């Protein structure tokens, strides 16, 4: 639907359904363009995947999930629930259909297409955070390298091959090899098992819950109406949109945005043919004996560690399970078992703030961003990179909504495509 000029100069009002990083960023940038915004969410700001994730703004690491290697690991996980990617043996029909489509897209060509599609978002993602932080979002954005650590130089070289594939696609990057004292100085928690590291320079990190809460406050301070409602449907009408809550009177506006994360498919319904499935991630906080200057990545076990309020937030796993199900304690135990031999000075037994959140995954590694029906837009399916790409998604979508012209950067994320197309 791109390229259609809005005769009246664009919408004057919009309802954003979803108060995570994507929805609130869209609301903020719509306000920048003079649109009156109402934000509705069934539980409140940062209640989903926006609260407890690793907090990385890491354009150099935006590797799509749908790689051939992930498919191999997924098949193995059917028999080993402790591996980083877990697919339960018992899957409902919706999950089973998603997994068939996901497996079909775990091929090199589909993965490379997702890599190339992400490049425009990667180029602007840090700048979009800087715009927010400089204009009323009262939460720090910290510049620091992300240091990947390995048991062997061979393992470090395997990751470098992945990063070179991104670089060949056009991703700018600066990576420095580390060993010996330089490695220990940058990662003081590295255990003797760690012999090599890669410093992935030019990245950022935030406390995600704090940042998204501050973003929500900024949106409210600029005049948005914030409401706690469960929405059951969003429809185009002859002169705008109607948004229907589970109870009470419907809401009306000139435009609406569905940004409900792992619940996007439920609200978008059959109008969107690419399914969005919950890939649940876990995190917890542990005290440390020595502070760390920046994030640590353990690629072999797919665990991310981030400085957090003087302690360490540890994040990991990818679990295909319904977003509303309770946390599975065995998944937390699996993260501890895999990460503890690689880090010392971490008091694993004293963990707190155990959290599970549903990351919205698409089968072809590309999110859904754009117009679904006249005046109704969707934004979601960013997978593990919703925080990194949330603000830039909001900026580009706000441009699309207010001008009626689809930005070139969003063409690969057409929400009405079929999976893989």
pLDDT at residue 22 greater than cutoff 90: yes
Task: Quote the CA–CA distance of 314 and 147 in Å, as a whole number.
Answer: 14
Please give the order of strands across the beta sheet that includes 204-205: 56-57, 204-205, 142-143
Task: Note whether residue 1 is domain-resident.
Answer: no
Question: Using an 8 Å Cβ cutoff, are 299 and 155 in contact?
Answer: yes
Q: What's the mean pLDDT in 395-409?
A: 97
Main-chain dihedrals φ then ψ at residue 15, nearest 5 degrees: -110, 125
Question: Using an 8 Å Cβ cutoff, are 372 and 417 in contact?
Answer: no
Task: Note whether residue 420 is domain-resident.
Answer: no
Task: Note whether residue 46 is domain-resident.
Answer: yes
Nearest by Cα to 296 from 28, 56, 22: 56
pLDDT band at 5 (very low <50, low <70, confident <90, very high): very low
The half-sphere exposure of 61 on its side-chain side, counting CA atoms within 13 A, is 32
Task: Note whether residue 92 is domain-resident.
Answer: yes
Residues in contact with 79: Cβ distance below 8 Å, sequence separation at least 6, in sequence order:
none
The per-type count for the chain, helices as H runs and strands as E runs, is 10, 21
Task: Return the number of other C-beta atoms located less than 10 Å from residue 127's C-beta.
Answer: 12
DSSP state of 222: T
Q: What's the mean pLDDT in 4-11?
A: 58
SS3 361: strand
pLDDT at residue 339 greater than cutoff 90: yes
Please tell me the least confidently modeled range out of 5-9, 228-232, 239-243.
5-9
pLDDT of 87 reads 63
Q: What is the CATH number of the domain that holds 270?
A: 3.50.50.60
pLDDT band at 103 (very low <50, low <70, confident <90, very high): confident
pLDDT at residue 319 greater than cutoff 60: yes
Please tell me the least confidently modeled range out of 65-69, 245-249, 353-357.
65-69
Residues in contact with 185: Cβ distance below 8 Å, sequence separation at least 6, in sequence order:
none
First to last CA, the chain: 16
The residue range of the domain holding 169 is 13-413
What is the pTM (predicted TM-score) of this model?
0.93
Residue listed under structure tokens 């005769």:
7
Question: Using an 8 Å Cβ cutoff, are 88 and 280 in contact?
Answer: no
Residue listed under structure tokens 């699309």:
400
Number of structural domains found in the chain? 1
pLDDT of 3 reads 37
Q: What is the pLDDT of residues 365-377, one digit of tens each?
A: 999 999 999 999 9
Task: Note whether residue 4 is domain-resident.
Answer: no
pLDDT at residue 302 greater than cutoff 50: yes
pLDDT of 4 reads 37
Task: Note whether residue 180 is domain-resident.
Answer: yes
pLDDT of 86 reads 62
pLDDT of 85 reads 62
Main-chain dihedrals φ then ψ at residue 390, nearest 5 degrees: -60, -55
Task: Note whether residue 421 is domain-resident.
Answer: no
Task: Note whether residue 5 is domain-resident.
Answer: no
Please tell me the least confidently modeled range out of 73-77, 89-93, 282-286, 353-357.
73-77
């Amino acid at each position: 639907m791109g390229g259609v000029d809005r005769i009246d100069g664009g919408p004057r009002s919009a309802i954003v359904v979803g108060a995570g990083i994507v929805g609130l960023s869209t609301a903020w940038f719509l306000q920048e363009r003079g649109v009156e915004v109402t934000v509705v969410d069934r539980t409140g700001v940062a209640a989903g995947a926006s609260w407890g994730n690793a907090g990385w703004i890491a354009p150099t690491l935006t590797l799509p999930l749908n790689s051939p290697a992930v498919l191999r690991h997924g098949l193995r996980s059917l028999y080993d629930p402790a591996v980083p990617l877990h697919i339960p043996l018992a899957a409902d029909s919706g999950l089973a259909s998603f997994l068939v489509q996901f497996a079909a897209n775990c091929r090199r060509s589909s993965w490379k297409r997702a890599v190339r599609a992400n490049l425009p978002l990667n180029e602007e993602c840090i700048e979009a955070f800087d715009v927010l932080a400089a204009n009323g979002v009262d939460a720090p954005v910290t510049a620091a390298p992300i240091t990947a650590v390995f048991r062997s130089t061979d393992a470090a070289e395997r990751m470098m091959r992945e990063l070179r594939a991104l670089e060949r696609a056009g991703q700018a990057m600066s990576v420095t090899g580390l060993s010996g004292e330089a490695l220990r100085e940058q990662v003081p928690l590295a255990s003797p098992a760690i012999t090599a590291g890669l410093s992935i320079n030019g990245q950022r990190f935030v406390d995600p819950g704090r940042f998204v809460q501050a973003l929500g406050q900024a949106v409210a301070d600029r005049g948005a109406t914030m409401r706690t409602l469960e929405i059951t449907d969003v429809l185009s009408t002859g002169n705008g949109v109607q948004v229907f809550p589970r109870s009470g009177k419907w809401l009306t506006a000139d435009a609406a945005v569905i940004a409900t994360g792992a619940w996007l498919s439920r609200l978008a319904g059959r109008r969107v043919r690419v399914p969005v499935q919950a890939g649940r991630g876990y995190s917890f906080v542990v005290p440390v004996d020595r502070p760390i200057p920046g994030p640590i990545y353990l690629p072999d076990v797919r665990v991310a560690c981030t400085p957090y309020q003087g302690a360490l937030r540890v994040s990991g796993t990818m679990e295909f399970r319904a977003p509303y199900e309770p946390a599975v304690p065995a998944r937390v135990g699996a993260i501890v078992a895999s990460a503890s031999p690689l880090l010392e000075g971490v008091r694993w037994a004293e963990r707190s703030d155990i959290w599970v959140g549903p990351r919205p995954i698409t089968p072809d590694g590309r999110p859904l961003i754009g117009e679904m029906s006249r005046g109704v837009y969707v934004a979601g399916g960013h997978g593990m990179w919703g925080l990194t790409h949330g603000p830039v998604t909001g900026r580009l979508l706000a441009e699309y909504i207010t001008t009626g012209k689809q930005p070139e950067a969003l063409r690969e994320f057409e929400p009405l495509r079929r999976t893989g197309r």
